[in-house]
Structure 1
Amino acid sequence: MKILLLEDNKKLNEAITKRLKLKGYNVLSFIDGKEAYEKITEGFSCFILDINVPNIDGIKILKKIREFYSSLPVIIISASVELDVIKEAYDFGCNDFLKKPFFIDELEIKIEKLCKIQNDKIYFDENSYFDFKSALVVINNQEIRLTKKEKLLINLFLTKKNQVISYESIENYVWEGNFASLESIRSLIRRVRKILEKDYIQTVVDTGYIFKIT
Structure 2
Amino acid sequence: MKILLLEDNQKLNEIITKRLKLKNYNVESFTDGALAYEKITEGYSCFILDINVPNIDGINILKKIREYYEVIPVIIISASVELDMIKQSYDFGCNDYLKKPFFIDELEIKIEKLCNIQDNKIFFDENSFFDFKSATLVINNQETRLTKKEKLLINLFLSKKNQVITYETIENYVWEGNFVSLESIRSLIRRVRKILIKEFIQTVIDTGYIFKTI
Asked if TM exceeds 0.5, the reply is: yes
- 1:87 correspondence with 2:91: no
**What is the CA deviation profile of residues 145-197 of structure 1, one whole-angstrom value per residue up to 9, with x for unaligned ones?**
10000000000000000000000000000000101110000000000000111
2:122 matched to which residue of 1? 122
CA distance in 2 between counterparts of 1:90 and 1:184 reads 37
Match of 2:29 in 1: 29
For the structure 1 residues 42 and 118, does the alpha-carbon distance in structure 2 shift closer, same or farther, using more than 3 Å as the test? closer
1:179 match: secondary structure: coil
2:176 aligned partner: 176
d(CA) in 2 for partners of 1:13, 1:142 = 39
Q: Does 1:14 align with 2:31?
A: no
Query: Residues 166 and 140 (structure 1 numbering): CA distance in 2 closer, same or farther, change over 3 Å?
Result: same
Partner of 1:188 in structure 2? 188
Distance in 1, Cα, partners of 2:63 & 2:121:
25
Aligned to 1:160: 160
Match of 1:43 in 2: 43
- State how far apart, in whole Å, the 2-side matches of 1:150 and 1:39 are: 16
- Give me the whole-angstrom Cα distance separating, in 2, the residues matched to 1:141 and 1:205: 32
- Distance in 2 between the 1:7 and 1:107 partners? 13
Paired residues of 2:45 and 2:118 also in contact (CA < 8 A): no
Does residue 71 in structure 1 map to residue 75 in structure 2? no
Show structure 1 runs of 5+ residues with no match: none
Equivalent position of 2:100 in the other structure: 100
Residues in 1 aligned to 2:162 and 2:132: alpha-carbon distance in whole angstroms = 19
Give the deviation of 1:142 after TM superposition. Answer: 2.0
Amino acid paired to 1:19:
R
Report the secondary structure of 1:43's partner residue: coil
The offset of 1:98, in angstroms, is 0.2
CA distance in 1, matches of 2:117, 2:21: 16
Give distance in 2, aligned partners of 1:123 and 1:32.
33
- TM-fit CA distance, 1:134: 1.4
One-letter amino acid of the structure 2 residue matched with residue 30 of structure 1: F
State the identity as a percent: 84
For residue 53 of structure 1, what is the aligned residue in structure 2?
Answer: 53
Aligned-residue Cα RMSD (Å) equals 0.7
In 2, Cα distance between equivalents of 1:117 and 1:20: 16
Q: TM-score, normalised to structure 1's length?
A: 0.98
Distance 1:41 1:93 in 2: 17
Which consecutive unaligned segments of at least 5 residues does structure 2 have? none
